A and B are shown apart, each in its own frame.
Chain A
Amino acid sequence: MNPVNYLYLAALLFTIGAAGVLVRRNAIIVFMCVELMLNASNLALVTFSRLHGNLDGQIMAFFTMVVAAAEVVVGLAIIVTFFRSRHSASVDDASLMKL
């Protein structure tokens, strides 16, 4: 199969993730959509690596996975403290500060 198809898939996944961040209201789901965007980037990196025939993209994909894991640690900690003090993880409830 033509590897370029994987690029289209990556772009599609990235778009789904970005749209999810913008429309979903639950902080956890928003965060999952961000993870989807990161993974879409990974897919693109690996595909380009295959296209170019060098390893840079695959190495970057590994680093991205580590970063995504670290982000989960920090992100879930923040979202959980947020949830525990409000009993809701909705980003609409985060409205103490307004213009």
Chain B
Amino acid sequence: MSTTQSVHNLWTHAAAEPEKIPTPHIEYAQLSPTLIVLGAALVGILIEAFLPRRTRYTAQVLVAVVALASAFAAVLALGMDGYGTTKAQVAAMGAIAVDGPALFLQGTILLVGLVAVFTFAERRLDPTAHGNRVDSFAAQAASVPGGQGERDAVRAGFTTTEVFPIALFAIAGMLVFPAANDLLTLFIALEVFSLPLYILCALSRRNRLMSQEAAVKYFLLGAFSSAFLLFGIALLYGYAGAVDYSSIARVVSNADNATDPALAGTMGNDALLLIGGAMVLMGMLFKVGAVPFHMWTPDVYQGAPTPVTGFMAAATKVAAFGALLRLLYVVLPGLRWDWEPVMWGVAIVTMLGGAIVAITQTDIKRLLAYSSIAHAGFILAGVVATSEDGVSSVLFYLAAYSFVTLGAFAVVTLVRDAGGEATHLSKWAGLGRRSPLVAAVFAVFLLAFAGIPLTSGFTGKFAVFKAAAESGAGALVVVGVISSAIAAFFYIRVIVLMFFQEPKADGPTVAVPSPLTITAIGIGVAVTLVLGLAPQYFLELAGDAGVFVR
């Protein structure tokens, strides 16, 4: 034995043989939807790097559409295979749940993403710039608005085709977020879908100052809220000594006191649980856009490019509510008596706050932003129900709401004047006289938002309020119906404005879109009407999907 080794032994020998870390076992088939989307996003990056500029647009749109469609097919296949019900399981070493709510929400997010990609790819709305067709995104995001660099970029016909891979990354994060089964995966998924959205917000072609402002606000507040989420995660880890949902739930419900004798002395501090749980909830409610964490919503929705707003409003809400449901139903059911009053309060102020402030709005995008806050409140009423019906009603509501939102924002992109989109409400006066079809379609969406029967909004609201009432949250339902009535006022006001007022002489024109936007709006209308007229199949689907795996 050499001297070096004997000296070395002084501090190495005493240590025990390190525990072997097993090779992770990954269920690739069950995770395929996420993997397909992530893979396509990476392909998109390579396309940006290697393909000549004029072919990029076609290639990117093709890759994005094919990826989202095949990921959706993968979700369908998993659902058919029974992973939503009997074969529900936790995959990837406990990191990701493959169960009914996860698959249902992933399917919704993928369809929403697909439709959103259609609106992203629209190139007929803006007038051609120097003979090049342009979309809603800045010619070159780095150039100063109004500067020489921007003029050069526009003249050269640059377009930001990076939006497609960026959107795919966001969608991949959203797919993981409602399926995350430990706090680490939850945090990473949150960041993976938030960071691309911050970038997308900053990329508007028109009103770039507003768009950049929206991005700064969204980024700073989003980072602030995710820091809260992370500290909450740290505290929950301190409480339970583990980060996976089922272990934390076991410690919360005190199912097996002292799972691990080594941890018995350090875990189970209720202060850590309460503060940590509250901070994690705060981070989630921020993403959902619930009052009092809603401050970013109107500004970001107004400033961001409208296709991005539609995507964000629909898909983020689906993903965030999925994660919120899983957190409350899987991790913290033992803490139900503590979080239920808080969520009651949040749901009530969200419903009322969103509906009341929306009345005073004069900008159509801000109006829809406040309406989305009110809708977050309605969905929270279903979350509070804490029953299987509550879960499935929330799932159904999210699917119904997201397509209405996408369609509504797609219509907003069509109404334009010289400065781009004419979002001020006064400019929408008499739209029904000029272009009855567009106004009628928008009216359908507004009626669905208001929850008028025969539209998906009614079915969703009915399901949510029924679940809430059955679980004893009658007061919440009363507040919900009152704020629905308040909300109906400003939706109807827009309809009256469109159909019963004289159009102004210098009013906006309705651009003739390409088949892409027509498809997007068409899907929105179709889903709205089908879920309103014949919701039974989809209600059953959501009902079957209402059980979380743990």
List A residues at the B interface (Cβ < 8 Å). 7, 10, 14, 17-18, 21, 27, 30-31, 34, 37-38, 40-41, 44-45, 47-48, 51-54, 56-57, 59-60, 63-64, 67, 70-71, 74-75, 77-79, 81-82, 84-86, 91, 94, 96-97, 99
Shortest distance between the CB of A98 and any CB in chain B (Å): 9
B142 to chain A: closest residue by CB: A81
Q: Which of B191, B215, B227, B299 contacts A34 (CB 8 A)?
A: B227
Cβ-defined contact, A45 with B237, below 8 A: yes
Task: Mark each residue of chain B from 165 to 185: 1 if its CB lies under 8 Å from any CB of chain A, else 0.
Answer: 000000000000000000110
| Complex contact B262–A53 (CB within 8 A) | yes
The answer to the question of B209 belonging to the interface, with a C-beta cut-off of 8 Å to chain A, is: yes
Residues of B within 8 A of A37 (CB): 224, 227-228, 230-231
CA distance A10 to B227 in the complex (A): 13
Interface residues of chain B, those whose CB is within 8 Å of chain A, are 141-142, 144-146, 183-184, 187-188, 191, 195, 198-199, 202, 208-210, 212-217, 219-220, 223-224, 227-228, 230-231, 233-235, 237-238, 241-243, 262-263, 266-267, 298-299, 302-303, 357, 360, 366
Please report the C-alpha to C-alpha distance between residue A45 and residue B233 in the assembled complex, in whole angstroms: 9
A25 to B302, CA, bound (A): 23
10 contacts between A and B (CB under 8 A): A34-B220, A34-B223, A52-B263, A57-B234, A63-B187, A63-B188, A78-B198, A82-B213, A85-B212, A99-B357
**CB pair A21 B224 closer than 8 Å:** yes
How long is the Cα–Cα vector from A45 to B360 in the complex, in angstroms?
45
Contact: B238 with A38, CB < 8 Å? Answer: no
Query: Do A78 and B199 have beta carbons less than 8 Å apart?
Result: yes
Q: Which residue of B lies closest to A52 (CB)?
A: B241
Q: In the complex, what distance in Å separates the CA atom of A52 from the CA atom of B366? A: 48
Q: Is the CB of B238 within 8 A of A78?
A: no
Among candidates A18, A56, A71, residue contacting B237 with C-beta atoms closer than 8 Å: A56
Query: Which chain A residues border B241 with CB–CB below 8 Å?
Result: 48, 52, 54, 56
B21 to chain A, nearest CB (A): 9
The verdict on A85 contacting B209 (CB below 8 Å), with A34-B223, A44-B231 known, is yes
Beta-carbon contact of A7 and B195 below 8 Å: no
Whether A74 pairs with B195 at a CB distance below 8 angstroms is: yes
Min CB distance A40 to B, Å, is 7
Closest to B238 in A: A48
Let me know if B223 and A31 touch, CB within 8 A. Answer: yes
User: Contact: A94 with B234, CB < 8 Å?
Assistant: no
Q: Do A91 and B216 touch across chains, with their CB atoms under 8 A apart? A: yes
A82 pairs with B212, CB closer than 8 A: yes
Q: Which chain A residues lie closer than 8 Å to B366 at the CB level?
A: 97
Whether A81 pairs with B141 at a CB distance below 8 angstroms is yes
- CB contact under 8 A between A71 and B234, given known A38-B227, A78-B219: no
- Given known pairs A52-B266, A54-B241, A60-B237, the reply for A97 and B224 (CB within 8 Å) is no
Q: Which 4 A-B pairs have the closest CB atoms?
A: A37-B227, A44-B234, A48-B238, A41-B230
Contact check, A38 vs B230: say whether CB atoms are below 8 A apart.
yes
A79 to B145, CA, bound (A): 14
- Interchain CA distance A30-B217 in the complex, whole Å: 11
Residues from chain B with a CB closer than 8 A to the CB of A63 are 184, 187-188
- Contact across chains for A51 and B266 when beta carbons are under 8 A apart: yes
- A57 to chain B minimum Cβ distance, whole angstroms, is 6
Contacts known (A34-B227, A74-B219, A85-B144); A96 close to B234, Cβ less than 8 A: no
Contact indicator A85/B233 (Cβ below 8 Å): no
For residue A2, give the distance in angstroms from its CB to the closest CB of chain B.
12
- Residue contact A97 to B303, C-beta cutoff 8 Å: yes
Question: Which chain B residues border A44 with CB–CB below 8 Å?
Answer: 231, 234-235, 238
Contact call A85/B208, Cβ cutoff below 8 A: yes
Q: 17 more A-B contacts (CB under 8 A) besides A41-B231, A63-B188, A82-B212?
A: A10-B234, A30-B220, A31-B223, A34-B224, A37-B227, A48-B237, A48-B238, A52-B266, A54-B241, A54-B263, A56-B243, A60-B183, A67-B187, A75-B198, A78-B202, A85-B208, A97-B299
- Bound-state Cα–Cα, A57 to B241, Å: 9
Give A10 Cβ to nearest chain B Cβ, in Å. Answer: 8
Question: Nearest Cβ in chain B — how far from A36, in angstroms?
Answer: 9
B206 to chain A: closest CB distance in Å?
A: 13
Q: Are A97 and B214 in contact (CB under 8 A)?
A: yes
Report the Cα distance A99→B145, complex, angstroms: 24
Contact across chains for A41 and B233 when beta carbons are under 8 A apart: yes
Q: How far is the CA of A51 from the CA of B235 in the complex (A)?
A: 12
B299 contacts which chain A residues (CB < 8 A)? 97
- The distance from the CB of A32 to the nearest CB of chain B, in whole angstroms, is 11
A14 contacts across to B, CB distance below 8 A? 227, 231
Docked pose: A69 CA to B64 CA in angstroms: 27
Measured CB to CB, the nearest residue on chain A to B146 is: A85
Contact yes or no, A74 B199, CB < 8 A: yes
Q: Which residues of B contact A17 (CB under 8 A)?
A: 227
A residues near B187, Cβ cutoff 8 Å: 60, 63-64, 67
Candidate in A37, A71, A74, A97 with the most chain B CB atoms within 10 angstroms: A97
A67 to B227, Cβ gap below 8 A? no
Verify A71–B223 contact, CB threshold 8 A.
Answer: yes
CB distance from B139 to the nearest CB of A (A): 14
